[in-house]
Structure 1
């Protein structure tokens, strides 16, 4: 447990996190993990969002959720949200406001300037800059009293594209819950149940690509790579929902049909037991054609001892150790991906076990949830101490 001087005096600091919603995703997972860590540390955790399925998990952790339409990008609604957040800051005696997405960040920024409350932002993605207006809109994520970049890649993106005092920026990678992504805790029953649902055949290696079905996640690249591996017995499993992108899913299915890969590619849909899914895999692929801010898939897979083949850009290029825990290949290059998969699928016995051990240790040392939360709470404490020194 991380304890602070304030919590020991019985006067717990209060942190308000703001984000669009709590449906699913890395930003949402980080918010819930952070709220849980704050409660465990003796702080008070508030989260404001438009709501979603993860609210229940948040409240089980002991945090308080306040429903506001923070998913709206309507300028008038954003101003109204700012007034509501200012009211909440005063009502709950909030000490720190932490914004994790642009539209709610603007509302939080205006509210904290009005109330004089320290403001933290987490910069999660290399937001596209299509002109001065978009640059200005994105810039709210650099207006925090502290700005958290979720990878060195994002840190460089911020420094190259926005005016920011480098002393205010901190790089804190996302963290994986090692109590959940632990191979010792994934039961055989869970793996059997999922294997049956996916209709997996015994003895056929599984190449898994987790991620919602959207073009930049690279499902088409993996399908094309499988066409280069017809001599290798393997099944590519695409794990993730199309989230309404029916046309893209149909395009992928048509590609599978055209390349005569129906026996080598399977669409598994959404999966609610990702630790078991990783454990069923022989190799995990992160084939994003655009750079990701962090790349949670590669870290989760390594936490469970699975070799990873990832695109050599963005945050993924930082989390995979080439030749030790996985392979990095040029983005959108099916032949290069196929060559790396061929090597990964050839790992066996003691060599595979050595790769697994290195991958798990790599994640434990650098990408645990506990480390992420401790580093973030240290930033909160730093701001509280600065504020105390000003009074």
Structure 2
């Protein structure tokens, strides 16, 4: 294969820990598109194949698959950390060759789980931009260590919300922090006129209440089911939808969730759709969108999607959701640990169609005004200037 001759001296190595199409990956796509639009050459390295690869190739980005040593909670053990160290060393060797072949001038690491770019940038003397989508609270030793690494090995630390800024400001020099709210292409959510309601059993004539997100310990699928169990006691006209899959190796979480549905007697009230690409059509079918995270969600992109779809949003009162939702105007904020109280807030929306529609309209206006993709791309491009 003949290597292309780059017409620019701004060549970016972009590293990302997932190949899915959830929030951080969607923002990664927007970031790649933003840089290519202004003439940067982009080389992407992912740890695994997946649906993101197809989307990146559609943008004509060069994509490589190589294990990057992504740091996840399951590696928080002596043997797991040794595994990560060895994998990162191998990744570093691979990336050094890639940098030499492509005259890389910038390294961009998306999410705190991607460590290898930080060490490589320091060794090669190139600018390192680290994009943080996480609020890390525990374990304490890991948060402390990550603060040291990020502060030492990043030139710019991009945070996706004020909540993320507050999480990192005591660990990272504030002069390095840059707040950049996510913004995505809303056209699919604004333009779709179709929905998937006919695919959902037992949903005819019901108010559809749904959530979309990775199935893991903190995204709140279990809490969502607790809320559902509370609501079905007082409402016969509700049906609940869960969309999303688990990380490879954690499929048992799906089994546990399905067992909870069965044990709670919710089989006819809950539909689990798994991983889906047709998110605009799914959101079009929902009447109410819920984000039930039991830990702070930094700046959930799915809220932007739901608002663009004209849906009222109910989310736990923590993390970035507090910056996105105007309480009582575009949705409601609920406690993360009280299903009864949460169901009371949702009950108002179930009972009042006019309220749902009004909140949905205000949410759509807010997302287009405050979280525009144009602003995101323009400000993202500026991060790569002057160095």
TM superposition score normalised by structure 1: 0.86
Aligned to 1:170: 178
User: Do the aligned partners of residues 79 and 276 (structure 1) sit closer, same or farther apart at CA in structure 2, a change above 3 Å counting?
Assistant: same
1:35 deviates by 1.0
Answer whether contact 2:69 2:88 (CA < 8 A) is retained.
Answer: no
1:118 deviates by 0.8
Query: After alignment, is 194-203 or 117-126 more displaced?
Result: 194-203
Structure 1, unaligned stretches of length 5 or more? 1-9
Answer whether contact 1:151 1:171 (CA < 8 A) is retained.
Answer: yes
Aligned to 2:63: 65
Q: SS where residue 217 of structure 1 aligns? A: coil
Q: Deviation digits for residues 172-228 of structure 1, max 9, x if unmatched?
A: 12222212222xx2133xx2xx22322253321100011233332222222222233
1:140 deviates by 2.8
Aligned to 1:5: none
1:102 deviates by 4.0
Q: SS where residue 370 of structure 1 aligns? A: helix
Query: After alignment, is 261-270 or 231-240 more displaced?
Result: 261-270
1:65 deviates by 1.3
Residues 1:89 and 2:94 are matched in the alignment: no
Aligned to 1:18: 15
Structure 2, unaligned stretches of length 5 or more? 1-6, 71-82
Residues 1:108 and 2:117 are matched in the alignment: yes
Among 245, 270, 289, the residue aligned to 2:294: 289
Coordinate RMSD, CA, aligned? 2.3
Among 221, 224, 234, the residue aligned to 2:223: 221
Query: After alignment, is 80-89 or 337-346 more displaced?
Result: 80-89
Answer whether contact 1:225 1:338 (CA < 8 A) is retained.
Answer: yes
Among 116, 136, 144, the residue aligned to 1:127: 136
Aligned to 1:7: none
The correspondence of residues 316-355 of structure 1 with structure 2, limited to 5 A, is 316-349=321-354, 351-355=355-359
Aligned to 2:238: 234
Query: After alignment, is 70-79 or 29-38 more displaced?
Result: 70-79
- Looking at structure 2, the residues matched to 246 and 79 of structure 1 have their Cα atoms a distance apart, in angstroms, of 29
Q: Deviation digits for residues 212-264 of structure 1, max 9, x if unmatched?
A: 33332222222222233223211011122245655544444444344433332
Answer whether contact 2:12 2:106 (CA < 8 A) is retained.
Answer: yes
Aligned to 2:374: 370
Among 273, 280, 289, the residue aligned to 2:285: 280
Q: Deviation digits for residues 83-110 of structure 1, max 9, x if unmatched?
A: 33233333212221111244543x2222
User: Do the aligned partners of residues 356 and 128 (structure 1) sit closer, same or farther apart at CA in structure 2, a change above 3 Å counting?
Assistant: closer
Answer whether contact 1:34 1:373 (CA < 8 A) is retained.
Answer: yes
Q: SS where residue 189 of structure 2 aligns? A: coil
- Looking at structure 2, the residues matched to 226 and 103 of structure 1 have their Cα atoms a distance apart, in angstroms, of 33
Residues 1:309 and 2:322 are matched in the alignment: no
Aligned to 2:205: 203
1:18 deviates by 1.0
Answer whether contact 1:218 1:332 (CA < 8 A) is retained.
Answer: no
Answer whether contact 2:215 2:245 (CA < 8 A) is retained.
Answer: yes
- Looking at structure 1, the residues matched to 117 and 95 of structure 2 have their Cα atoms a distance apart, in angstroms, of 7
Answer whether contact 1:86 1:114 (CA < 8 A) is retained.
Answer: no
Answer whether contact 1:224 1:334 (CA < 8 A) is retained.
Answer: yes
- Looking at structure 2, the residues matched to 42 and 135 of structure 1 have their Cα atoms a distance apart, in angstroms, of 38
- Looking at structure 2, the residues matched to 12 and 311 of structure 1 have their Cα atoms a distance apart, in angstroms, of 45
1:45 deviates by 1.5
Residues 1:186 and 2:192 are matched in the alignment: yes
- Looking at structure 2, the residues matched to 355 and 252 of structure 1 have their Cα atoms a distance apart, in angstroms, of 30
Answer whether contact 2:129 2:157 (CA < 8 A) is retained.
Answer: yes
